[in-house]
Structure 1
Amino acid sequence: MAISLPNGALIAIASGYGASKTMSALTNAAAAVATLEASHGVIVGDILEVTSGWSRLTDKIVRASVVSTNDVTLEGVVSTSTAIYPAGSGIGSVREITGWTQLSQILGSSSQGGEQQFLEYQLLEADAQKRIPTVKSAGGLTLQVADDPSLAGYQLASTANDDRLARAVRITLPSGALIFYNAYISLNKTPTLTVNEIMAVEVTLSFLAEPVRYTS
């Protein structure tokens, strides 16, 4: 059991990507192993954006934990269920994230979406309804950021807002744990104007996949 405070957490946006590397095979395993093209350049600890035929994996941001020639283990990717991860159909590509820029002066945050949706039904002969879980609503995170257009993080968020290209987002918690998202980034450039309160703008992250979390 643990109780944690977010004080001191750092949020960064990907500011550089390497070339896309073909992933010609991906195993069904407790830690999925990707076979990449020769001279892929991936080393242990690299952070990768994955594009895959597996819908529950594609667009996730993962870490390379083991590299053996062209075989790269994707840390935390459990692909043992062939019902969810059909054998042979997970191929695609990866891109290394080569740089990060901190989004600083964050005043607060709020999450949206992610709620489980249900189908409710009742059989003619029954006297009570039942329900089946269906999908989860699209998720996102809104950050209130103290207004300062001169900061590198603000400028990168502005670029992401304009080009509408997905970018990886990394949260480093005080414990050293890491949370990775892949998201479209929107920036509301109109600051709040409330007497005796800090002027702030909103940065909104619209998630493309579930987050990936590592303890360190």
Structure 2
Amino acid sequence: MAARFPLPNGAVLEIASIMGSAVAFTALTNAKPPVAASVGHSIENGDVLLINSGWALINDRAVKASGVTADAFALAGLNTTNTDKFTVGAGSGSVIPVSGWTQISKVTSFTSSGGEQQYQTVGYLEDDDDKQFPTNRNPTTITIVVEDQPTAQYVETVEGFDDTKELAVVRMKLRNGDQILYPGYVSITPDPTMERNNVMTRTISIGLSARSLRYLAGA
């Protein structure tokens, strides 16, 4: 039976430590999920992929591969059926598979900021009340506070992404089996906090490059 209240307790956080070589796909269908055509690819079911596509709305997103065949694979969790947003034939590109993960251990807090809906306000001379309509959302930043562990394996990985400024993927595995993928640019504070009687900590930040994607348990 699922827990009555969703708590983050027991969640495991990981960062991609090994990124594979780019796998090109020559076409991407308008479907739910979209299917990528890639002759003789090496993708396997469940692989986490970082997308580079001609469709800007899915570019830089992290997804899981599904429905894998010898010459095609699907991008699970995406919906590209709207041809007004996803021009037919324009979605080709490549994916970079994650081939290794490292746990980010001893996390003391995990928070998200940004992502708020923005609005444009319009007022007419004959109307006493202004009107508003939605425009864009603010960018989202994930903030992860960890216990200072200079010899932990993940530190070298995080510092490497901080140095290269390359896209990374962070994965949250919840106790109920759900997984959330966060693609983005990772940085870490160079020095730990030092306050008497408090644990020394460092802060990892992820500036999301695209929306996160959640996969329910068993999906």
What TM-score does the superposition give when structure 2 sets the normalisation length?
0.95
| 3-state SS, counterpart of residue 10 of structure 2 | coil
Partner of 1:17: 19
Encode CA deviations 1:62-87: one digit per residue, 9 max, x unaligned: 11110122121111111111112111
Cα distance in 2 between the residues matched to 1:201 and 1:21? 35
In the TM superposition, residue 110 of structure 1 has moved relative to its aligned partner by: 2.0
| 3-state SS, counterpart of residue 150 of structure 1 | coil
Cα distance in 2 between the residues matched to 1:97 and 1:141? 20
| 3-state SS, counterpart of residue 55 of structure 1 | coil
Amino-acid identity (%):
34
Cα distance in 2 between the residues matched to 1:73 and 1:159? 30
1:212 pairs with 2:210? no
Partner of 2:166: 165
Partner of 1:196: 197
Counterpart amino acid of residue 117 in structure 1: Q
1:4 pairs with 2:6? yes
Runs of 4 or more above 3 Å deviation: none
Counterpart amino acid of residue 41 in structure 1: S
Are the counterparts in 1 of residues 62 and 182 from structure 2 also a CA contact under 8 Å? yes
Are the counterparts in 1 of residues 111 and 143 from structure 2 also a CA contact under 8 Å? yes
Aligned CA RMSD, in angstroms, stands at 1.3
Cα distance in 2 between the residues matched to 1:123 and 1:54? 37
Cα distance in 2 between the residues matched to 1:95 and 1:18? 6
Cα distance in 2 between the residues matched to 1:110 and 1:61? 19
Are the counterparts in 1 of residues 41 and 72 from structure 2 also a CA contact under 8 Å? no
Counterpart amino acid of residue 54 in structure 1: W
Encode CA deviations 1:84-104: one digit per residue, 9 max, x unaligned: 211111111011110001111
| 3-state SS, counterpart of residue 66 of structure 2 | strand
What TM-score does the superposition give when structure 1 sets the normalisation length?
0.96
Cα distance in 1 between the residues matched to 2:209 and 2:115? 12
Gaps of 5+ in 2: none
Cα distance in 2 between the residues matched to 1:165 and 1:192? 26
Aligned ranges for residues 74-153 of structure 1 at < 5 Å? 74-153=75-154
Cα distance in 1 between the residues matched to 2:24 and 2:114? 33
Cα distance in 2 between the residues matched to 1:131 and 1:83? 24
| 3-state SS, counterpart of residue 28 of structure 1 | coil
Cα distance in 2 between the residues matched to 1:44 and 1:12? 19
